[in-house]
């Protein structure tokens, strides 16, 4: 409860809440064009740099099992999300696959929020965790696209979609930043820490302020199957988060590492997945997937999910 209260009153969460409030009261607050993109570039590149620097001290044996667990989990999540959305929520095959792709992938911003939460909780995570973000981006989207059955029976072209995903901004910044951090001289990394490390939390607050405004505007787009999407957007991340924590504990991750794997499994993509689905499933309605991921699941993870996954990981470790 102490961690939950601390999380709910952190500047990061309060900034997100201010963004939601701004939209609810119809404020004219807005970010200039390009600023939100610049903030996301900074955050992704920064976390890639820090993760790459941490990889210098990690061995292959430390990474291989968590990496395999991450890929398996990302690929498995759409396998039950898709039939649940088809049979229970009543979505057609294409829209169900699109939503499953979003929930099979991951949110880099939720990951960043998880790292910030662990710092406040004084619970360190393994340095290679940014690599798991990149690993979980791809498998879930690919599996979900394979499940889609568009009218006429033609499967979506996976090649262009995967190529676009690998070349996307989020993947390029994360993987490129990790490569630079892993190869750079430690003294060189120290020389840029004043720009990429120290301002990190402040930039994240600004980014979440803007996301709060976007999320509040997206919730209004949930029409027709509002209740089904709300239930799915709450239940799915909690179930996936617990599975991620259990799997992280099973492969030997620390409490912080297991928490982060739970956060990755619980999060839903609203950057990489929408762009990829737009290419491979142009007939899919983007509104339900983006609105559920950003308007329901993201705030849930940000406020209640992070301390919940941490509590599960702590209990598993005997804490």
For 68-111, the pLDDT digits (tens) are 999 999 999 999 999 999 988 888 888 899 999 999 999 888 99
Residue 79: burial class (beta carbons within 10 Å; 0-12, 13-18, 19+):
middle
> What CA–CA distance (Å, rounded) separates 209 from 180?
29
Q: Between these two residues, 122 and 167, which has the higher pLDDT value?
A: 122
- On the question of pLDDT at 157 being above 70, the answer is no
Q: What would the 3-class secondary structure string for 125-180 be?
A: CCCCHHHHHHHHHCHHHHHHHHHCCCCCCCCCCHHHHHHHHHCCHHHHHHHHHHHH
CB 147 within 8 A of CB 97: yes
CB 44 within 8 A of CB 169: yes
> What CA–CA distance (Å, rounded) separates 119 from 139?
29
Closest listed residue to residue 261, CA positions, set 40, 63, 11, 2: 63
Lowest mean per-residue pLDDT among 6-15, 90-99, 155-164, 191-200: 155-164
* DSSP letter assigned to residue 10: S
- On the question of pLDDT at 318 being above 90, the answer is no
> What CA–CA distance (Å, rounded) separates 35 from 40?
9
Per-residue pLDDT, averaged over 111-132, amounts to 89
Per-residue pLDDT, averaged over 44-56, amounts to 78
Nearest-5° Cα angle at 257, 255 to 261: 115
Per-residue pLDDT, averaged over 237-259, amounts to 96
> What CA–CA distance (Å, rounded) separates 114 from 117?
5
The total number of residues shown for the chain amounts to 319
Per-residue pLDDT, averaged over 268-285, amounts to 78
Q: What percent of the chain has pLDDT over 90?
A: 33
**What pTM, to 2 d.p., does this model score?**
0.81
- On the question of pLDDT at 3 being above 70, the answer is no
């Amino acid at each position: 409860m102490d961690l939950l209260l601390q999380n709910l009153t952190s500047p990061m969460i309060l900034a997100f809440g201010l963004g939601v409030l701004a939209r609810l009261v119809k404020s004219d607050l807005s970010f200039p064009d390009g600023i939100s993109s610049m903030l996301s570039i900074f955050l992704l590149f920064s976390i890639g740099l820090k993760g790459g620097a941490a990889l210098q001290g990690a061995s292959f044996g430390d990474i291989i099992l968590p990496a395999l667990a991450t890929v398996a989990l990302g690929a498995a999540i759409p396998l039950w999300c898709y039939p649940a959305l088809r049979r229970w929520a009543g979505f057609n095959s294409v829209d169900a696959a699109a939503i499953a792709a979003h929930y099979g992938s991951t949110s880099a911003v939720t990951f960043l929020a998880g790292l910030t939460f662990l710092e406040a909780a004084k619970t360190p995570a393994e340095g290679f965790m940014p690599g798991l973000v990149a690993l979980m981006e791809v498998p879930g989207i690919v599996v979900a696209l394979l499940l889609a059955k568009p009218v006429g029976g033609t499967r979506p072209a996976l090649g262009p979609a995967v190529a676009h995903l690998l070349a996307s901004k989020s993947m390029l910044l994360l993987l490129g930043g990790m490569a630079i951090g892993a190869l750079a001289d430690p003294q060189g990394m120290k020389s840029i820490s004043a720009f990429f490390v120290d301002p990190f939390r402040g930039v994240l607050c600004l980014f979440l302020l803007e996301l709060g405004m976007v999320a509040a505007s997206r919730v209004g787009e949930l029409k027709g199957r509002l209740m089904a999407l709300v239930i799915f957007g709450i239940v799915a991340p909690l179930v996936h988060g617990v599975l991620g924590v259990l799997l992280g504990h099973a492969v030997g991750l620390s409490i912080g590492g297991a928490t982060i794997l739970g956060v990755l499994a619980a999060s839903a993509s609203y950057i990489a997945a929408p762009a990829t689905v737009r290419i491979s499933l142009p007939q899919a309605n983007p509104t339900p997937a983006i609105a559920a991921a950003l308007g329901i699941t993201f705030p849930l993870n940000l406020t209640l999910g992070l301390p919940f996954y941490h509590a599960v990981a702590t209990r598993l470790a005997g804490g």
